Amino acid sequence: MSGITSEPFIPFSRTSIGEEEIREVVDTLRSGWLTTGPRTAKFEAEFAAYVGAPHALAVNSCTAALHLALRALGLKSGDEVITTPLTFCATVNTILEVGATPVLADIGGDGNLDPKSVEARITDRTRAVVPVHLGGLACEMEPLWRLAARHGLKVVEDAAHAVGTHYRGFPIGAGLPAEGMRSDAVAYSFYATKNLTTGEGGMVTTHDQGMLEKMRVLSLHGIDKDAWNRYAEKGKWFYEVVDVGYKYNLSDIQSAIGLHQLRKQEEFVRRRTRIAQIYSRAFADIEEVEVPPQATNGRHCWHLYILRLNTHRLTMNRDEFVEELRRRGIGTSVHFIPIPMHPAYKEWAGLPQNHCPRAMALYPRIVSLPLYPSMMEREVERVTDAVREIVRRARRGRARYRGAAAS
Ligand SMILES: *Cc1c(COP(=O)(O)O)cnc(C)c1O
């Protein structure tokens, strides 16, 4: 190892799986019911209650959740869907998968979709908006919902980072208690590195029963289970495929994990918030970095701590900064490589209507620091010490100051 520390490596992400999760998985295995069943039904009900949505459908990823929502809304070839360039590829892949055209709008100072940029990109082909709550910081949803109402657009929230995030006093998924102030569907991720995990998994919530039913049918091959009831005389073996669907259901083994993760989520959010506060306090007086924006519209769930480097004040770039942290035994990540930078998207994302200068300018400045409930005080301190030390060595002003002092 080419590090400069003998201390153990602090990974970027670490799961918090307890005995409760392990016991529930073992119980599930012993129960004989492994696929979607009673534990998934329970997980759906408890998750819906947690996010304040009337309906929840458990699926095997957030990607599946996004795909089902877009399919159930009837999006198709020729439709335009506006989303952010600062997101994971799954957000645009699912738009492309239903045959629609992604349109990128630029971000605001918070790193989330800027409603003004969204408005500027609405055409007569725009059908939907897919905002992403980057790192767990809620998008300013109200202007987006107003735009959607005015232009007849659907809204599907990519809440992969936002289990535990609140917007204006309500969890993401609940919407606001006012006419039109909610989304058509909200998609969550339980991937291994997310702030609530089932290893792989996801959930999609909605306030619309019809939408739930469409997504449920599409999530299981397009099989209409009600056929069992309609043709009861045929017996339990009968079913009808009423749409061309997918295999997106979540297993009871995964739901067993999710049930207990969900019950700990409030405590997880508290611990993440505490660490984020320690980071922000430790970096507040360093001009070479900018701490991530606080929530001004609700509760940040602190899925990610995205530090912004003021690279013009540093003698090193972000990639070198990442390498310096790694040499000190600290893992990091970058959220995200902007969509236009991926070869698969170049053709459409490079078009002038997708030009997002603010996202492109932010990208070379961002680095996500380790942040998870099981981080120990000593680990948090090692991260803050390392950032401060790297910055001290790479401070541009220092060289200038020395020069000035010598003259
Ligand atoms: C992780 C992630 C997804 C995909 O989640 P999966 O559960 O892995 O499919 C989608 N959008 C964003 C913003 C993500 O970070």
The pLDDT tens digits for 104-154 are: 999 999 999 999 999 999 999 999 999 999 999 999 999 999 999 999 999
Q: What is the mean pLDDT of residues 169-189?
A: 98
Domain boundary among 233, 263, 293: 263
Does the C-beta of 87 come closer than 6 Å to ligand 1? yes
> 188 with 248, same domain?
yes
How sure is the predictor about 234, in pLDDT bands with cuts at 50, 70 and 90? confident
Domain range for 105? 19-263
State what percent of residues in the chain have pLDDT above 90: 92
Domain boundary among 232, 263, 294: 263
Does the C-beta of 60 come closer than 6 Å to ligand 1? no
Residue 400 has pLDDT above 60, yes or no: no
Cα Rg, the chain, nearest whole Å: 23
Residue 404 has pLDDT above 70, yes or no: no
Does the C-beta of 158 come closer than 6 Å to ligand 1? yes
CATH number where 279 lies: 3.90.1150.10
The residues annotated as belonging to the active site are 194
Return the ligand 1 atom nearest residue 63 CA: 9
> 246 with 277, same domain?
no
Residue 231 has pLDDT above 90, yes or no: no
Nearest alpha-carbon partner for 309 in 387, 209, 196: 387
Residue 238 has pLDDT above 90, yes or no: no
pLDDT value for 2: 62
CA angle at residue 147 from 145 to 150, to 5 degrees?
110
Does the C-beta of 305 come closer than 6 Å to ligand 1? no
State what percent of residues in the chain have pLDDT above 70: 96
Residue 406 has pLDDT above 60, yes or no: no
Counted domains in the chain: 2
Question: 75 in helix, strand or coil?
Answer: coil
Neighbouring C-beta atoms of residue 255, cutoff 10 Å:
28
> 282 with 155, same domain?
no
> 147 with 86, same domain?
yes
pLDDT value for 237: 84
Does the C-beta of 91 come closer than 6 Å to ligand 1? yes
Nearest alpha-carbon partner for 83 in 72, 74, 94: 94
Beta-bridge mates of residue 10: 330
> 182 with 258, same domain?
yes
Closest C-alpha to ligand 1, atom 5:
62
335 lies in some domain: yes
Q: What is the mean pLDDT of residues 237-247?
A: 93
Q: What is the mean pLDDT of residues 77-95?
A: 98
Residue to mutate (ligand 1; options 63, 92, 161; most atoms within 8 A of CB): 63
Return the ligand 1 atom nearest residue 87 CA: 13
pLDDT value for 68: 98
Distances (CA, A) of 32 to 10, 35, 37, 109: 38, 9, 11, 51
Return the ligand 1 atom nearest residue 193 CA: 1
> 385 with 246, same domain?
no
pTM over 0.85: yes
> 117 with 216, same domain?
yes
CA 161 to mean position of chain CA atoms: 3
